[in-house]
Amino acid sequence: MEMLPNVQRMSAEQNFSPQIQQQDINQRAEFDNSGMNNFAGGQYTSCTRHIEKKVEYFCKTCSDTVCARCIFDEHNGHELVQIEDMATSLKQNVLDLQKMILNASRLNEENSKLLDQTRDELARLKQQQLKNIDKGFADLFRKLDEKKMELKAEFDKKFRSEEQRLLTKMSMIASNFEEITNI
Ligand SMILES: [Zn+2]
Ligand SMILES: [Zn+2]
């Protein structure tokens, strides 16, 4: 029971050991220096195989950066370009890509405008078609109404003439009847 606090304290000391912290810092420093070296006042990227040599070429065969020693070694006979030329060509590729993206977005914008126009045109055509249907039916109703009035007028005319004939016959009968009673 008496030993327990001691053990805990020791384990805590181990976790925050200054030795481990220093080791960690050293590892980080090593990592930071792995790519870049100071040479003649300017920074350069060193070869991964020959740490003291500067990367000067790009091997297109292996897609890797190489130094002057590498080109007579593992990359002998490979397709090599100067790193500056490679950088220039890569920068140009980036510029070309930016142009392509700009063009694509412009094209997208134009297409979306065109779609908007087509949608508006379709909405206009729909309204026009609905108006045409309304007008067509209004014309049809007007014509039917005209036809109805025409039929009524025609019927009325026939009725009046029949009525007239009937009245004439009735007055003839009446006068005949008068003649007969006077005999
Ligand atoms: Zn090398
Ligand atoms: Zn190579």
Of 78, 93, 108, the residue that ends a domain is 78
What are the pLDDT digits (tens) for 31-86? 344 444 444 445 778 999 999 999 999 999 999 999 999 999 899 999 999 989 98
User: 59 CA to middle of ligand 2, Å?
Assistant: 5
Does one domain contain both 103 and 127? yes
User: 31 CA to middle of ligand 2, Å?
Assistant: 25
User: 44 CA to middle of ligand 1, Å?
Assistant: 13
User: 93 CA to middle of ligand 2, Å?
Assistant: 22
Does one domain contain both 71 and 126? no
Is pTM beyond 0.85 here? Answer: no
Grouping H, G, I as helix, E, B as strand and the rest as coil, residue 81 is strand
Domain annotation covers residue 173: no
Give the chain's mean pLDDT: 83
Q: What is the CATH number of the domain that holds 72?
A: 3.30.160
Q: What share of the chain is helix, strand, coil (3-state, %, to 5)?
A: 70, 10, 15
Beta-carbon neighbours within 5 Å of ion ligand 1: 47, 49-50, 67, 69-70
How far is the C-alpha of 74 from the C-alpha of 56, rounded, in Å?
15
Query: What range defines the domain where residue 46 resides?
Result: 38-78
